Structure 1
Amino acid sequence: MTDNNRQWKTLDKDLGRIGHLEYAAHYIARPMVGLGIALAFLVLAGLGAGLLFGAGQSNMIVVAAAIVGAYMALNIGANDVANNMGPAVGANALTLGGAIVIAAICESAGALLAGGDVVSTISKGIIDPASVQNENVFIWAMMAALISSALWVNLATWVGAPVSTTHSVVGGVMGAGIAAAGLTAVNWPSMGKIAASWVISPVLGGVIAAAFLAFIKARIIYVDDKIAAARRWVPVLIGIMAGAFTSYLAVKGLKKIVSVELDLALLIGLGAAVVFWAISVPLIRRQSEGMENRNKSLKALFAIPLVISAALLSFAHGANDVANAVGPLAAIVHAGEFGGFAGEVNIPMWVMVIGAFGISFGLMLFGPKLIRMVGGQITKLNPMRAYCVALSAAITVIVASWLGLPVSSTHIAVGGVFGVGFFREWHAEKRARESRSRRHPGKRIAPEERRRRKLVRRSHFLTIVAAWIITVPAAALLSGVIFVVLNALFV
């Protein structure tokens, strides 16, 4: 090899090393960009709050609360919104980028256009305002609740567990209330209902999602003429979706515009179901023309309804859950502005703006991790299975409202994913057992082979369930400690 060739080879190696170094630097810097944008948003939230209040101690408290509230909103976007968009992404009905854009728009629209203008600052009666007579103690209790719930949701996102942000706030308020006024300050019957919802929400969501998947398998997938069956039943499922979401939005998402009772909401939903069924019949017939008699064709028929249902879920989530999450911030603003506290207060528009934009930034910067986990790492989803999850979420909320039960949208959606996965597991095992009994009567499957055929990842299942169980007590304990520290420093 000549000296000239050796020099060129050495130069190529050096350039390769430089290229690897640049790639590594770019890979390391990517998370820092997200953190930088998030930090800038927190600073802007604090500056905006400071401009709305005069000088004094109340101003500094509200500024600090606005920063913490913005931090909470970022965490809601990173964790909670994944439950609405994850199934659609996992089913390949939406790209990750498309899901983030749709969710950001719909969540913000739900929060700003239809978000409740009155919120129970004590998280639906968890503690009695009369038990906390001192205004400063009340403010620091709400601050502790806000900080603890935000930290807990942040930790859950980092671990990869979708948790209920509303339950985190409830736990934070309960812990601060106990630290401030003792166990008697807590409304234990309300806490009992919330504890019951830990079980009711995911189980009900899972059962309804599994029931719809069983119906689709029996009436559409496992029939000779799949396309003809789809033409008959897909419009019916679209009508059910339209009716469920119309009732859902009427009950949960339109409180600022008009107050609708559940009976009237169900009647409106029934009307919407009939209208959308009639509209979708010719559309599905036209879309299915020329399709092959295969499951792949069926997936295409469910893709657009799935995207629409995911967008509606995000709108309803923004309308309903953002107000709960910024409730403690609204309480602090009310106390700082009027020098007192109340069980219910109006949410200022700038507080809702912090919630709406914080959710959007949190989703775009930190949401992809949980979207991928919910959509593809618990169980394998396709448009039909994901559609069952979205449909179960809306119907479960309606059923829970009718029964008067507090439920978590997070638990319902993830419970629906579990329900679909466990039903697939049971159904596959049943078909394999029937096939085996025909071909090899008396033959048994080895335990190793049985474990290999599991269609729900048990590690994710156990992690998520454990996070659900400890959310309220963990947030309560953390909030109590933070309140004691804040009370010692500032009261």
Structure 2
Amino acid sequence: MSRYKKPTLDKDLDKISYMEEATTSLGRGLMAPGAGLLFIVLCGIVAGAYVLGAPSGGVIVAASAIGAYMALNIGANDVANNVGPAVGAKAMSLTTALVIAAIFESAGALLAGGDVVDTISMGIIDPAAVADTRIFTAAMMAALVSAALWINMATWFGAPVSTTHAIVGGVMGAGIAASGFSSVNWLMLSGIAMSWVFSPLVGGLVAAFFLWFIKAFIVYQDDKIAAARRWVPVLIAVMAGTFAAYLAVKGVSHVVTIELSTALVAGGVVAVLAWMVTRPLIARQSQGLENRNQSLRKLFAIPLVCSAALLSFAHGANDVANAVGPLAAIVHTAEFGDVAESVAIPLWVMAVGALGISFGLLLFGPRLINMVGRQITKLNPMRAYCVALSAATTVIIASGLGLPVSSTHITVGAVFGVGFFREWYTERSERRLDFLNEGEGGKAKRVRPVRNREEQARRKLLRRAHFMTTLAAWMVTVPASAMLSGILFFLMAAIL
């Protein structure tokens, strides 16, 4: 039979098969960018219908497309911090996380995103420096483009960065290009610079503290289930109260102003109610569980899913302004011909930001979600719980001190804090060593000492490469976006 075989035809068929597989693979890779481009075009069409016949309609259409691009990048990069730990802990699947985050991000943006936004982000630039409408429009467009490009590049390299800091850098660079260094509020920028150090450091310390508490009072107890019945309701109550205060301070701040003291009182009431409700539930849920760590993780799964939803809601309410704030300012300036310090946000502009963040998350978010949740350090529900609680706690602490902080820096700093604490606790904790030497469940274990540097490096529980990449991205976000915005300002000014 072999004499009738046609090797030339077989080779040709193999080539065609390989070509089809390559085409299919390439098509899959282009689906997300193609869908993102379609969304940007649709936003431009909607804006064109809104300003049909207006003399500055072209500027509004271009700004809408840029705002949609910015919103897509916020969803691709920033939202990963809210759901990444829960996905890494396997409390929910990636698909479930994407759906929950998209729903709550949109709800936060549309319901609590606010009707009015400041045109000069966080008071960085003196309004008199950009009083001319043409200069102001060019500055806002340059800030949007530079921030979006920087976030896009950071997402490409797998680095979670602060979108707020990116837009701050963009506004600063455009302001300097427009009227010099004297137009910048350097005192405000110094406060933002303090947050670069404050927020990730405090986030890491708070997360490490809660992880230490869980290990000391639950994990390394002889009867883990009895300890869990005692302390897990307390921990859930602390989370519920903290998130209640967090949402009061950050989540609905654009709709109604709530003092920090009032938010703390409300959080205390919610904590007590949560403890009363969860205590019998945890007692019932823990019945029949084996006395092992795997059983404990089941008790933290549902609170972790709720925390991811609440973090997404608060993020949508606050960070949608990064996309639609400059866009709303451009629309107001084009329509009324003046530069206002604060402007109303049209519903269609808010929809661009809300839908853009959700689509960006669905199309491009999985990469950063996997990086934050799985690649920095290994997370389980207990560790992810510490990360989520740290994010809310640190924001409340910063609000009390009057410091502007980044939710991205806090959450990622908390993940790093958990990883570093795991390394320290694994190598130096006498309680853990005694527990292992005595034996868990009656079986003695021998703790093997680290014999050389290679083995010690292999046992590191936190990937240093991700730590250095993220730290470098944080340090250069503001200056990089500022330099890019300054260059783009002259281009925009020449076009407009």
- TM-score bracket for this pair, using the shorter chain length: over 0.9
Q: Is the 8 A contact 2:173 2:486 kept in 1?
A: yes
Whole-Å Cα distance in 2 between the matches of residues 59 and 80 of structure 1? 31
Whole-Å Cα distance in 2 between the matches of residues 290 and 70 of structure 1? 51
- Output the TM-score relative to the length of structure 1: 0.95
* CA drift at 1:326: 2.0
The number of residue pairs the alignment matches comes to 486
Between 230-239 and 344-353, report the one with greater CA deviation.
344-353
Give unpaired runs (5+ residues) of structure 2. 438-444
Aligned to 1:461: 467
Tell me the secondary structure at the aligned position of residue 300 of structure 2.
helix
Whole-Å Cα distance in 2 between the matches of residues 390 and 16 of structure 1? 51
Whole-Å Cα distance in 2 between the matches of residues 463 and 234 of structure 1? 35
Whole-Å Cα distance in 1 between the matches of residues 33 and 410 of structure 2? 30
The answer to whether structure 1 residue 476 and structure 2 residue 478 are counterparts is no
What amino acid maps onto 1:68 in structure 2?
I
Would the alpha carbon gap of residues 2 and 473 (structure 1) be closer, same or farther in structure 2, given more than 3 Å must change? Answer: closer
Q: Is the 8 A contact 2:169 2:479 kept in 1?
A: yes
* CA drift at 1:343: 1.7
Q: Is the 8 A contact 2:137 2:330 kept in 1?
A: yes
Aligned to 1:239: 237
Taking the TM superposition and a 5 Å limit, the aligned residue runs for 1:107-126 are 107-126=105-124
Whole-Å Cα distance in 1 between the matches of residues 282 and 15 of structure 2? 56
Q: 2:419 aligns with which of 418, 421, 438?
A: 421
Would the alpha carbon gap of residues 112 and 444 (structure 1) be closer, same or farther in structure 2, given more than 3 Å must change? Answer: closer
Whole-Å Cα distance in 2 between the matches of residues 113 and 483 of structure 1? 33
What amino acid maps onto 2:465 in structure 1?
S
Q: Is the 8 A contact 2:109 2:317 kept in 1?
A: yes
Between 388-397 and 33-42, report the one with greater CA deviation.
33-42
Residues 51-107 of structure 1 show CA distances to partners (whole Å, capped at 9, x for unaligned) of 222424421111100000000000001000011111111111111111111110010
Q: 1:337 aligns with which of 330, 335, 338?
A: 335
Whole-Å Cα distance in 2 between the matches of residues 425 and 432 of structure 1? 13
Aligned to 1:192: 190
Q: 1:139 aligns with which of 127, 137, 140?
A: 137
Q: Is the 8 A contact 2:113 2:255 kept in 1?
A: no
What amino acid maps onto 1:465 in structure 2?
L
Whole-Å Cα distance in 1 between the matches of residues 150 and 161 of structure 2? 9
Aligned to 1:353: 351
Q: Is the 8 A contact 1:121 1:343 kept in 2?
A: yes
* CA drift at 1:2: 4.7
* CA drift at 1:32: 1.2
Q: 2:297 aligns with which of 290, 299, 309?
A: 299
The answer to whether structure 1 residue 486 and structure 2 residue 485 are counterparts is no
Q: 1:252 aligns with which of 250, 253, 269?
A: 250
Whole-Å Cα distance in 2 between the matches of residues 433 and 286 of structure 1? 29
Whole-Å Cα distance in 1 between the matches of residues 298 and 17 of structure 2? 42
Taking the TM superposition and a 5 Å limit, the aligned residue runs for 1:40-51 are 40-51=38-49
Whole-Å Cα distance in 2 between the matches of residues 215 and 181 of structure 1? 53
Whole-Å Cα distance in 2 between the matches of residues 435 and 149 of structure 1? 48
Would the alpha carbon gap of residues 278 and 13 (structure 1) be closer, same or farther in structure 2, given more than 3 Å must change? Answer: farther
Tell me the secondary structure at the aligned position of residue 116 of structure 1.
coil
Tell me the secondary structure at the aligned position of residue 32 of structure 1.
helix
Tell me the secondary structure at the aligned position of residue 312 of structure 2.
helix
What amino acid maps onto 1:191 in structure 2?
L
Aligned to 1:452: 458
* CA drift at 1:325: 3.2
Taking the TM superposition and a 5 Å limit, the aligned residue runs for 1:41-440 are 41-431=39-429
Q: Is the 8 A contact 2:39 2:68 kept in 1?
A: yes
Whole-Å Cα distance in 2 between the matches of residues 274 and 22 of structure 1? 61
* CA drift at 1:348: 1.6
Between 399-408 and 338-347, report the one with greater CA deviation.
338-347
Would the alpha carbon gap of residues 172 and 287 (structure 1) be closer, same or farther in structure 2, given more than 3 Å must change? Answer: same
Whole-Å Cα distance in 2 between the matches of residues 343 and 205 of structure 1? 33
What amino acid maps onto 2:273 in structure 1?
V
Would the alpha carbon gap of residues 444 and 350 (structure 1) be closer, same or farther in structure 2, given more than 3 Å must change? Answer: closer
Whole-Å Cα distance in 2 between the matches of residues 391 and 12 of structure 1? 61
Q: Is the 8 A contact 1:235 1:277 kept in 2?
A: yes
Whole-Å Cα distance in 1 between the matches of residues 243 and 341 of structure 2? 30
Whole-Å Cα distance in 2 between the matches of residues 331 and 134 of structure 1? 13
Aligned to 2:441: none
Tell me the secondary structure at the aligned position of residue 117 of structure 2.
strand
Whole-Å Cα distance in 2 between the matches of residues 468 and 69 of structure 1? 23
* CA drift at 1:410: 0.4
The answer to whether structure 1 residue 34 and structure 2 residue 32 are counterparts is yes
* CA drift at 1:306: 0.6
Q: Is the 8 A contact 2:220 2:432 kept in 1?
A: no
Q: Is the 8 A contact 2:131 2:339 kept in 1?
A: no
Whole-Å Cα distance in 1 between the matches of residues 433 and 204 of structure 2? 27
Q: Is the 8 A contact 1:245 1:312 kept in 2?
A: yes
Tell me the secondary structure at the aligned position of residue 56 of structure 2.
helix
What amino acid maps onto 2:481 in structure 1?
A
* CA drift at 1:342: 1.7
Q: Is the 8 A contact 1:197 1:406 kept in 2?
A: yes
Give unpaired runs (5+ residues) of structure 1. none
Between 383-392 and 329-338, report the one with greater CA deviation.
329-338
Whole-Å Cα distance in 1 between the matches of residues 191 and 323 of structure 2? 19
Whole-Å Cα distance in 1 between the matches of residues 226 and 55 of structure 2? 70
Whole-Å Cα distance in 1 between the matches of residues 386 and 124 of structure 2? 33
